[in-house]
Structure 1
Amino acid sequence: MELAAALSRSPVTVKRSLKELEDIGLILRVRRGVGEPNRIYTLLPKGGLP
């Protein structure tokens, strides 16, 4: 996993962290077709930024 290497973290740690961020609504992961990179979008919390 390219992101894990860039962050010097294990792939399991990165996958778990991405899942947590997605579950609380801070990112949106869009899975694409075979051979295509997935997209990760950052989202603003409800109510916007302080």
Structure 2
Amino acid sequence: VLMEVKALGSYPLWFVDLLNTYGVRKGSFSKYAQTYQRHLFKKEEVLHVI
């Protein structure tokens, strides 16, 4: 599951508590990198077809 959260300044304490309650952790995700990797894997699959 991916959730994007944007806020001006810091998050409200009630929101931080909610994230901690459900064990939600910060991570990074690049839509550009994901698309690039998919493109590379498609190319690689085609090269290995006999």
TM-score (norm 2): 0.35
Select the structure with the greater relative contact order (CA < 8 A; seq sep ≥ 6). Answer: 1
